[in-house]
Amino acid sequence: MKPTLFLLAAGMGSRYGGLKQLDGLGPHGETIMDYSIYDAINAGFGKLVFVIRKDFEDDFRRIVLSKYEGHIPCEVVFQALDALPEGFTCPEGRTKPWGTNHAVMMGETAINEPFAVLNCDDFYDRDAFRVMGKFLSELPEGSTGKYAMVGFRVGNTLSESGTVSRGVCENDENHHLTSVVERTKIERQGGVVKFLDDDGETWVSIPDTTPVSMNFWGFTPDYFAYSREYFKKFLSNPKNIENLKSEFFIPLMVDELISTGKATCEVLDTTSKWFGVTYPEDRPEVVEKLAKLHADGIYPEKMF
């Protein structure tokens, strides 16, 4: 069974002109999402599922989905503040979505096969889709608790315009993830990659090849049931209800499953070079990189 690609697009709104996710950065007006979908199709993914806001459905189908018709089956699911387990209600005054893993939970009705999850506004590059597609497609039928994460080499994920935030990964001798530590300030200094330690004063050197998470995960459908149960625990914590900006993130769920021995998460090495528009100053460089990929024949003039 071909794996599914699940794209986190709930951050899109109806103001089309100002949306980073739909900015035409490629030489023929391609969005970054177009490259992800093109690479996913070539890596053997068989279906797309997008999680969006319900109020954006008409515009999304017209502007986005229409482009992929005839190339790959597509489905849409919706993330909403009130999409909560029975017995729970959204706190008064909360406007912030419940986070990336809550968005993933919305895919349960549409996904019955191994699937990959990623951001729709990051350029992940072809090899990342190859390694994830291979992992998911080779899972024995009925597999549970065998997950994966594309571990980008930190040196391939930096911005020349400033520091970046990355989940720095540690894994065991079997390449299974043991921890992800969010480092909010990482940059190259004098040719060496460094992050600012928790004390806010000490810069710590790490190798260029250190794996980091760029929110490109691979799961089997049992992940939905685990998420449902753990989300109830999350909502039962008064701190998460009182804090109107608390979020149920994917790494939080993965860490819970690893620490309790319910799942393993293989860190997949990739030669891919991530890029995205972290800062407005990054845009011209991204446009230049995409133009070169087309000029070199990596991508055709018309992808869709």
pLDDT in tens, 243-290: 999 999 998 899 999 999 999 999 999 999 998 887 788 899 999 999
**Type of residue found at 195:** F
**Type of residue found at 97:** P
Distance CA 215, CA 165 (A): 12
Q: Is the pLDDT of residue 14 over 50?
A: no
Using an 8 Å Cβ cutoff, are 168 and 206 in contact?
yes
- Residue 233: both structure tokens together: 């625990």
Q: Which residue has the tokens 């994917």?
A: 250
Write the pLDDT tens digit of every residue in 41-88. Answer: 999 999 999 999 898 899 889 888 999 989 999 999 999 999 999 999
**Type of residue found at 292:** K
What does each C-alpha distance from 50 to 42, 54, 111, 157 come to in angstroms? 19, 11, 11, 25
For residue 159, what pLDDT is reported? 86
Write the pLDDT tens digit of every residue in 94-139. Answer: 999 999 999 999 999 999 999 999 998 899 999 999 999 999 999 9
DSSP string, 63-108: IIIHHHTTTS-EEEEE--TT---TT--PPTT--S---HHHHHHGGG
What does the DSSP 8-state code read for residue 140? P
Burial class (CB in 10 A: 0-12, 13-18, 19+), 117: buried
Distance CA 171, CA 180 (A): 9
For residue 19, what pLDDT is reported? 61
- Residue 40: both structure tokens together: 């996913």
Write the pLDDT tens digit of every residue in 24-35. Answer: 899 999 999 999
